[in-house]
């Protein structure tokens, strides 16, 4: 589907002024859409089409009408109606406040201008306020000014303020000129709107808190036909310019203007759940705020953002909301319910019931179920339906006034995991106020798998389609479902629906009962008329209206065979990378490295030097104390010899955000104890030694195999060993396919001599290693224990050292429980490491010389013995990078709130 902005622009350019209508296929054929299937499946050749709705237009200009016409073709009828009801009933300045981050100004300026042009063509004038944080950081670095932060807030001295002021004026003019080039009249407003007091002059100097908004210049700009563009500079009553936080400034503008929506544009595209890696589509604060505040991953910027948005919305009308979205999705977020980012609103708090006794007013429940379903004997039909609920488990969701009511029947037995939405009734105002979205959020939270049916002429069919993962249409009914990932289970569900239609769900569906009662009544009425007049004939059948239907299915043959070989393993990465979704901070973290003399410490320092948000403050080495640190250009740093007492005092003063312990095994405990004793509980400690790899209080930092949300919320992380990282990544995808003991995987590992450290020994003596291969610790090596402990199965590990400097090569022999082919083994690895930027799957055996200096892992070979019962895998890794320093930086990024791969070369 093309982006909405492009469709709007193209259609507006055509100046389509005539009325049009939206049509969609309403096929009696069975048409299936589901991501688990390779393509849509058509199970019937017959089809027909019907018109759904006639477009409604605003009549104040051809361009505006053209865009409304596009909305009718992209949004649902309900969404267009809500747009007409809401966005045309408020003054122009109350439409939206849009906060634009500095990164958007740099990377997505044309996308932003195109979206704003489309809004302007509709007669809409959003209020724009922008920042320029990333640009300011670059200018300060070029000027040799070291950024200073306190609790994540930039300290703005006079010199910084001068640079910031000039920059913000330049960026403001840049945006205004860009909009003008797109045909949008825009007006720069750089002073006189935001008034502020000093936040804490002694601590932050020229940083302010906005306390007043003078909106006259904004209103005048809009009245004159210009989009107002503000910058995040405020001033005191005496005229002193102050630097203010753009998010908070946008919130103050929203309080003053009371817009329908406040929009924060973000390159992340919204807030992502770090437990699942999925985008959070909506947060209903009245119902979910406390729950989110308790989540371990809601920390750093995410926590403060949700808290600040709640404070804002508490002061605004309940219809107001805040959207965090990508600039490419601006119109879709504003004009469709599905949106494209994270929508935060107060919402409607829903009540729940699992028995009729839990309803305070059963009479109201009965009236709600009859609503929009009046027909012959409807009251008695509803009574019988409620009686049936007395003897079966169910869960109901409803708001206080019962504008919305959903009844779900949980899975029939322990063998089934599919729940069924038996009844959903919604008033028109509930549809238009988004209570329906709130209901479905609750359903998805409580029922991982759900199915339901809807009549194919339902005016909300598009909305149901957006909530589902797949659908199948047959004979005027559409079966929807979500949460079913297995292709076999999908095909089984479809097969039953094709054979039985809605009847596959049995006979307790309310809509079905009302429909049968209505049909029976018509037959009786027609027969009475026939007897009275002496004439034969057929009466038309009155059909009860239903928004959605379904009920508990009858027993199904879960063992039904399907064509093709059944896959018994997962086909997607269960722990996908967080990437930029993890970014919560836009200010640097202060880092100290203890034991920076070795190869790993040096490699880490080089990477910290390239990282835009890692601010190295201290390096400690007893041997190098007093020498200048080489390879770090951000500031001059002299090696120190820090004692545990020094570390404790620094931690008590909260001088360091992240402590990296790059010490030999058995040495770092006094330093860790010092940080623990300081009371600085938020300080991150990452240990590169083996000291804490078997401590359950520490999180094992292997993001590709350990749930990333655990690492992101951790303050104590044990960095895996180099050998162990490569071995675990090489074994994990086949773990569930291994033969039972006493057979076990065997890892033949060979490392370059840098793995033996800098202290002279036979294992790092190049002369001794030339034309040689040295085996050592043939049993009970600490990495053998580490690999076995993390994988939960015994693994034999045999290490060797060779003459090259950096790089490890593993040959891993894996006994298989069942016969497998080489292509199946390779597919397992490709699926498991899908989208992992630091894991590369190759067909050939990877080579050490190709991995040296690279930041990832290569896995290949995929040989299978002729018996099909033993696989051999090759893995290579640079022991100093992904085996140590790169892994450390990846963990630092996750735990400190930066993009997961920030500062890590991905070539």
With b meaning 16 or more CB within 10 Å and e meaning fewer, what string describes 64-80?
bbbbbbbbbebbbbbbb
DSSP letters along 864-906, please? E-TTSSEEEEEEEE-TTIIIIIHHHHHHHHHHHTS-TTTT---
Pairing type for strands 796-801 and 774-775 reads antiparallel
Which among 862, 883, 898 has a CA at the least distance from the CA of 712? 898
Q: How far apart are CA 91 and CA 817, in angstroms?
A: 69
Which among 649, 641, 698 has a CA at the least distance from the CA of 669? 698
The strand pairing partners of 595, in sequence order, are: none
Main-chain phi, psi angles of 721, to 5 degrees: -75, 160
Task: Copy the structure tokens of residue 326.
Answer: 């990508």
- The residue whose two tokens read 């990508």 is 326
- Dihedral over Cα of 882, 883, 888, 894: its sign: positive
DSSP letters along 663-690, please? --TT-SHHHHHHHHHHT-TT-EEEE-SS
Which among 156, 133, 116 has a CA at the least distance from the CA of 247? 133
Q: Tell me which residues are annotated as active site.
A: 722
Task: Copy the structure tokens of residue 485.
Answer: 């990932």
DSSP letters along 311-372, please? HHHHTS-TT-EEEEE-GGGHHHHHH-SS-SSEEEE---PPEEESSGGG-S-HHHHHHHHHTT
DSSP letters along 627-668, please? SBPSS--SS--B-B---HHHHHHHHHTT--SEEEE---TT-S
- Dihedral over Cα of 429, 431, 434, 435: its sign: positive
- The residue whose two tokens read 């929508």 is 343
Pairing type for strands 857-864 and 870-877 reads antiparallel
Task: Copy the structure tokens of residue 734.
Answer: 């086949």
Which are the contacts of 635, defined by CB distance < 8 A and separation ≥ 6?
A: 146, 616
Strands annotated E in 726-824? 746-751, 774-775, 796-801, 808-815
Q: How far apart are CA 37 and CA 33, in angstroms?
A: 8
- Dihedral over Cα of 328, 330, 335, 341: its sign: positive
Which are the contacts of 394, defined by CB distance < 8 A and separation ≥ 6?
A: 354, 407, 408, 409, 410, 422
With b meaning 16 or more CB within 10 Å and e meaning fewer, what string describes 421-442?
bbbbbbbeebbbbbbbbbbbbb
Alpha carbon distances (Å) from 868 to 182, 208, 746, 865:
63, 69, 17, 5
Which among 337, 428, 323, 467 has a CA at the least distance from the CA of 74? 337
Q: What dihedral do alpha carbons 215, 218, 223, 228 form, nearest 10°? A: -170
Q: What's the residue count for the chain? A: 907
SS3 content of the chain, % helix, strand, coil (to 5): 40, 20, 40
Q: How far apart are CA 97 and CA 130, in angstroms?
A: 11
- The residue whose two tokens read 């790059």 is 662
Decide: residue 192, CB within 10 A, 0-12 exposed, 13-18 middle, 19+ buried: exposed
The strand pairing partners of 716, in sequence order, are: 685
- Bond into 742 cis (ω within 30): yes
């Amino acid at each position: 589907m093309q982006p909405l902005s492009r469709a709007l622009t193209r259609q507006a350019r055509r100046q389509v002024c005539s009325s049009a209508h939206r049509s969609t296929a309403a096929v009696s054929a069975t048409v299936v859409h589901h991501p688990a299937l390779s393509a849509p499946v058509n199970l019937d050749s017959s089809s027909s089409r019907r018109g759904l709705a006639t477009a409604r237009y605003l009549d104040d200009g051809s361009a505006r009408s053209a865009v409304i016409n596009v909305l009718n073709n992209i949004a649902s009828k309900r969404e267009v109606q809500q747009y007409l009801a809401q966005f045309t009933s408020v003054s122009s300045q109350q439409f939206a406040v849009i906060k634009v981050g500095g990164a958007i100004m740099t990377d997505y300026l044309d996308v932003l201008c195109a979206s704003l042009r489309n809004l302007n063509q509709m007669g809409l004038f959003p209020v724009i306020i922008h920042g320029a944080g990333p640009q300011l950081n670059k200018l300060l670095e070029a000027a040799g000014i070291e950024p200073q932060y306190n609790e994540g807030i930039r300290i703005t001295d006079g010199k910084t303020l001068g640079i910031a002021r000039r920059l913000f004026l330049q960026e403001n003019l840049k945006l205004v000129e860009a909009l003008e080039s797109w045909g949008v009249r825009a007006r720069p407003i750089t002073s006189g709107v935001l008034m502020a007091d000093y936040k804490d002059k002694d601590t932050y100097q020229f940083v302010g808190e906005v306390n007043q908004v003078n909106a006259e210049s904004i209103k005048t700009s809009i009245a004159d036909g210009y989009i107002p563009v503000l910058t995040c500079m405020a001033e005191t009553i005496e005229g002193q310019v102050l630097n203010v936080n753009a998010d908070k400034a946008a919130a103050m503008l929203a309080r003053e203007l009371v817009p329908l929506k406040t929009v924060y544009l973000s390159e992340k595209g919204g807030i992502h759940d770090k437990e699942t890696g999925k985008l959070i589509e909506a947060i209903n604060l009245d119902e979910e705020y406390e729950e989110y505040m308790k989540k371990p991953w809601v920390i750093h910027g995410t926590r403060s953002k949700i808290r600040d948005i709640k404070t804002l919305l508490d002061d605004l009308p309940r219809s107001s909301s805040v959207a965090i979205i990508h600039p490419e999705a601006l119109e879709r977020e504003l004009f469709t319910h599905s949106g494209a980012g994270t929508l935060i609103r107060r919402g409607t708090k829903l009540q729940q019931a699992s028995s009729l006794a839990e309803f305070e007013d059963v009479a109201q429940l009965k009236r709600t179920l009859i609503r929009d379903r009046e027909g012959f004997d409807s009251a008695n039909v509803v009574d019988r339906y409620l009686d049936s609920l007395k003897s079966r488990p169910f869960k109901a969701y409803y708001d206080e006034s019962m504008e919305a009511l959903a009844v779900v029947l949980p899975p029939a037995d322990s063998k089934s995991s599919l729940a069924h939405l038996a009844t959903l009734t919604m008033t028109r105002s509930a549809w238009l106020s988004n209570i329906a979205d709130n209901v479905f959020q609750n359903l998805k939270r409580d029922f991982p798998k759900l199915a339901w049916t809807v009549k194919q002429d339902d005016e909300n069919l598009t909305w149901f389609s957006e909530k589902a993962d797949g659908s199948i249409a047959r004979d005027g009914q559409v079966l929807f479902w979500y949460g079913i990932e297995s292709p076999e289970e999908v095909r089984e569900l479809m097969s039953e629906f094709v054979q039985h239609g809605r009847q596959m769900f049995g006979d307790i569906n309310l809509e079905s009962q009302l429909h049968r009662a209505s049909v029976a009544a018509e037959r009786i009425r027609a027969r009475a008329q026939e007897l009275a007049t002496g004439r034969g004939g057929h009466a038309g059948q009155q059909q009860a209206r239903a928004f959605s239907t379904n009920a508990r299915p009858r027993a199904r043959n879960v063992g039904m065979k399907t064509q093709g070989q059944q896959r018994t393993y997962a086909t997607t990465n269960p722990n996908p990378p967080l990437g930029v979704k993890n970014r919560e901070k836009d200010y640097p973290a202060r880092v100290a490295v203890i034991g920076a003399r070795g190869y790993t410490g040096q490699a880490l320092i080089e990477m910290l030097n390239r990282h835009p948000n890692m601010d190295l403050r201290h390096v400690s080495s007893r041997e190098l104390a007093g020498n200048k640190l080489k390879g770090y250009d951000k500031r001059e740093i002299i090696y120190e010899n820090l004692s545990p007492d020094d570390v404790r005092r620094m931690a008590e003063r909260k001088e360091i955000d992240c402590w990296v312990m790059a010490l030999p095994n058995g040495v770092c405990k006094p330093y860790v104890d010092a940080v623990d004793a300081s009371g600085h509980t938020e300080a991150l400690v990452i240990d590169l030694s083996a000291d804490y790899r078997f401590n359950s209080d520490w999180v094992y930092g292997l993001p590709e195999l350990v749930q990333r949300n655990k690492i992101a919320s951790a303050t104590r992380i044990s960095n895996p060993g180099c050998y162990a990282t490569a071995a675990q990544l090489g074994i994990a995808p086949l773990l569930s396919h291994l033969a039972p003991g006493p057979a076990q995987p065997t890892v033949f590992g060979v490392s370059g001599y840098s793995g033996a450290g800098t202290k002279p020994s036979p294992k790092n003596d190049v002369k001794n290693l030339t034309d040689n291969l040295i085996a050592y610790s043939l049993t009970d090596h600490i990495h053998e224990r580490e690999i076995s402990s993390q994988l939960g199965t015994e693994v034999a590990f045999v290490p060797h050292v060779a003459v090259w400097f950096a790089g490890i090569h593993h040959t891993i022999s894996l006994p298989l429980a069942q016969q497998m082919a080489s292509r199946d083994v390779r597919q397992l690895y490709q699926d498991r490491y899908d989208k992992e930027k630091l894991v590369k799957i190759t067909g050939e055996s990877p080579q050490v010389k190709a991995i040296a200096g690279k930041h990832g892992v290569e896995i290949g070979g995929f040989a299978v013995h002729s018996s099909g019962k033993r696989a051999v895998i090759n893995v290579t890794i640079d022991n100093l990078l992904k085996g140590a320093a790169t892994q450390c930086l990846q963990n630092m990024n996750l735990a400190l709130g930066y993009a997961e791969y920030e500062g890590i070369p991905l070539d």
